[in-house]
Amino acid sequence: MTMMSGADIVLESLKRLGVDTVFGYPGGVVLPLYDRWPAHPEVRHILVRHEQGAGHAADGYARASGKLGVALATSGPGATNLVTAITTAHMDSVPTLFITGNVGRELLGRDGFQEADITGITMPTVKHNYLVMRAEDLAYTFAEAAYIATTGRKGSVHIDIPKDVFLEQADFVWPETIEIRGYRPQTVGDTVLIEEAAAIINAAERPIIFAGHGIILGNAAPELRDFAEKTGTPVLNTLLGLGSLPPEHALAYGMMGMHGSYWANHAASNADVIVALGMRMDDRALGRFADMNPTAKVVHVDIDPAEHGKNIPTHVPIVGDVKVVLAQLLDAVEVNSHAEWVRWIDDLRNDHRLSMSVPPGEEMSQQHVISKIAQFIGPEAVLTTGVGQHQMWAAQFGNISRPHQLITSGGLGTMGFEVPAAMGAAVACPDRAVWTICGDGGFQMTFQEIATMVDEQLPVKMAIMNNGFLGMVRQWQELFYGNNYVSVAMSQPDFLKLAEAYGIHGIRVTDRSQVDAALKEAAAYPGPVILDFRVEAEGNVFPMVPAGASLSETIEEPQRVG
Amino acid sequence: MKHTVAALVEDRPGVLNRVASLFRRRGFNIDSLAVGTTEEAGISRMTIVVEGAEGIAVQVERQLDKLIDVVAVEDLTNLETVSRELALIKVAARPDQRREILDLIQIFRAQVVDVAPNSLIVQITAAGDTLDALLENLRPYGVREMVRTGVIALTRGARTTAVPHESAEARRFHSESGRRPEGELPFVTE
């Protein structure tokens, strides 16, 4: 047995968990922890400029690497600044651990300086949280927290530690195994249900796969491909499922949903069997639930049983790890091809391809710039986005070909996610190019992390789609509120001067002819770069399923609706 | 429709908050909630009556089960159960009305547990509708105060809502069927 302080136990526990990086921001109550940090050089601390940045960076780190992402903040405002990041990560089932300090045990509940009931605040937005009141509980709590965050349906876990617990001495006892009687994720699918699902899939005439984030989080892309090929089933992706099957695959039909393609949405609406894999039947992917193909038989594979039947009725709900269940299903299904059905979707794609293509002409459209960026950086790079029009165009034209390539806030839709998430990805993947496509609005929410990138020498390339508008909100005001633009036009600082102020490189691009050269110049520069793309001011994202409409009501033409 | 759900939970700070927060967030309507200790140290039992459409009990059960501190959940609605609720009802009663009230409550197998010159307290332990019926009959006298515990319920017969056992046997079963009761450290994936 070794006696150590709570602070040492925390750092030793992180080491045992294989955590190599913590994104953090110090403050009064976590000083005892920082005081001991120099004794634990194996755990790299990255000093951010805002706790939200730390949280999104931990999230980006986790999404890029598949490993646990860790962020740290002090009590009160430090902790509350983490909340957006905690919720963002949890909504997208990203394995993350958030550590906060709190006031000393004697002061808890007395409204002292910088006290916030942070475990009360985070309770509904985490998978689990802890307030650790004894140093002797720290090691087990960290082991258990990491176990919970990285197994089953992954998610964010939060540990709150009062200041004096960091100072308390205790034996360091590291658990060999974790046993939680209230938590037993089921990984293997029920064999009876597998047989039922196989019978439905074998009898299908027009089957379709909805592949979601679970395929990426569960490392199940190879199993997805094998299953789709054996059964001859076309594959659609949710936003976060992009990358689970490369777009050039014969059965890959891209993104479904609000800004999915015409052919994907119609394939979803016309299928007779839906095989939903690692996705949670979200409204953005499915449109109006009641009309999302009510006659299709639904086989739904998810590790979280609460997702089955939550939004639409499920005929065969299979609880399990999608990688394991796909392997089980692969054995149970027959070889099949649905040539006629596939041809039907292909014809639809050929007829409607124009509705999801880069607009012709000389305009600096976002579609043009984003597809140029995607071509230039290739699928080996990591691409993060913010939220809004540029995010949807990145999904449409980003050529997302491998898991962990696209990092974007799907569930919570967090503007300002892009820059710190890219920073986290750059830490996780030092050998990959990391680019972020930003909106001019979202960029201004979190660009303070450029200073962190400079300190840590993280050469993130930030491509701002600068149109002077909150583009998606403006699009909705144009289409659904009769062109009544309210609070959507937005001024910006001079982004080149901003780059200069941070001591990084800035490039302005005002014309299509300059795009290629600018991308080359950015890639060649050894540090972070801001690319200020002056794009078309009032472009609209199409195809589109209006909010509350069904997938079969996908609009292709830029017409006024509603 | 009313659904009765039993949840065995870890007796830890904040667990009631977690359950209440879940019900609020998901829009589940709590009719009553009773919490108490159980035969096993460290485990509390919550009996929750939820008002809602047919499918809601399944969501309640699964969302509850997702909470780490919830060890077992069972929907008792369609099972044979003994379910009871305790109520204390303070009734306005002049001395000349006492006899009448005593006769009335006897029908409901209730008792008087406190008497004062112009009031008495009636105690009843019964299933919910019997309790409601007594209450209706006492209203004409003037119900001055009332407290109810909320429904508690156990399944009839030998069947129990059990805390999962951690016997070697069960553990082997769980690991063979893919329900892993334990994780190998560290859990970091590739």
Contact B185 A128 (CB under 8 A): no
How far out from the chain centre does Cα A61 lie? Answer: 11
Kindly report the nearest CA distance between residue B111 and chain A, in angstroms: 41
Nearest by CB to residue B71, choosing from A181, A308, A324, is A181
Domains of chain B are 2-80+158-176 (3.30.70.260), 82-148 (3.30.70.1150)
Give the pLDDT band of residue A241 (cuts 50, 70, 90). Answer: very high
- B184 chain-A contacts, CB cut-off 8 A: 177
Nearest by CB to residue A123, choosing from B21, B177, B190, is B21
- B187 chain-A contacts, CB cut-off 8 A: 17, 68, 146-147, 150-151
Give the pLDDT band of residue A167 (cuts 50, 70, 90). Answer: very high
| Tokens matching residue A173 | 């006892």
Q: Which of A383, A441, A388, A415 is nearest to A84 (CA)?
A: A415
- A152 chain-B contacts, CB cut-off 8 A: none
Q: How far apart are the two ends of chain A, measured CA to CA in Å? A: 69
Contact B185 A188 (CB under 8 A): no
- Which stretch of A44-53, A276-285, A354-363 has the lowest confidence by average pLDDT? A354-363
Interval B7-27: pLDDT, tens: 999 988 889 999 999 999 998
To the query of whether residue A113 is one of the catalytic residues in this protein, the response is yes
pLDDT number for residue A21:
98
pLDDT number for residue A558:
61
Nearest by CB to residue B21, choosing from A124, A143, A177, is A124
Interval B34-47: pLDDT, tens: 999 999 888 999 99
Contact A186 B10 (CB under 8 A): no
Nearest by CB to residue A184, choosing from B63, B67, B179, is B179
Contact A306 B63 (CB under 8 A): yes
Helix (H, G, I), strand (E, B) or coil at A412: coil
CB A1 within 8 A of CB A139: no
Catalytic one of A472, A475, A542, A544: A472
Contact A187 B58 (CB under 8 A): no
DSSP state of A250: T
Kindly report the nearest CA distance between residue B50 and chain A, in angstroms: 17
Alpha-carbon span B18 to B26, nearest angstrom = 12
Alpha-carbon span B103 to B109, nearest angstrom = 10
| Tokens matching residue A69 | 């992402």
Report whether pLDDT(A557) > 90. no
To the query of whether residue A457 is one of the catalytic residues in this protein, the response is no
**Pick among A91, A93, A179, A183 to test the B interface (most B CBs inside 10 A):** A183
What is the share, in percent, of chain A residues with pLDDT greater than 70? 99
pLDDT number for residue A295:
95
To the query of whether residue A392 is one of the catalytic residues in this protein, the response is no
Integer angstrom CA distances of residue B158 from A317, A503, B71, B78: 30, 74, 20, 17
To the query of whether residue A195 is one of the catalytic residues in this protein, the response is no
Prediction pTM value: 0.93
Kindly report the nearest CA distance between residue B155 and chain A, in angstroms: 21
Report whether pLDDT(A261) > 70. yes
Report whether pLDDT(A263) > 90. yes
DSSP characters over A435-479:
EEEEEHHHHHHHGGGHHHHHHHT---EEEEEE-SB-HHHHHHHHH
pLDDT number for residue B165:
53
Residue of B nearest to A123 (CA): B18
Pairing of strands A461-466, A529-534: parallel
Mean pLDDT of chain A: 96
Kindly report the nearest CA distance between residue A58 and chain B, in angstroms: 14
Alpha-carbon span A267 to A253, nearest angstrom = 9
Kindly report the nearest CA distance between residue B139 and chain A, in angstroms: 41
Window A:162-191, CB contacts with B under 8 Å = 174-188
Average pLDDT (B140-166) is 87
How far out from the chain centre does Cα B176 lie? Answer: 34
Average pLDDT (A410-431) is 98
Catalytic one of A163, A323, A372, A461: A163
Q: Which of A433, A410, A431, A434 is nearest to A420 (CA)?
A: A434
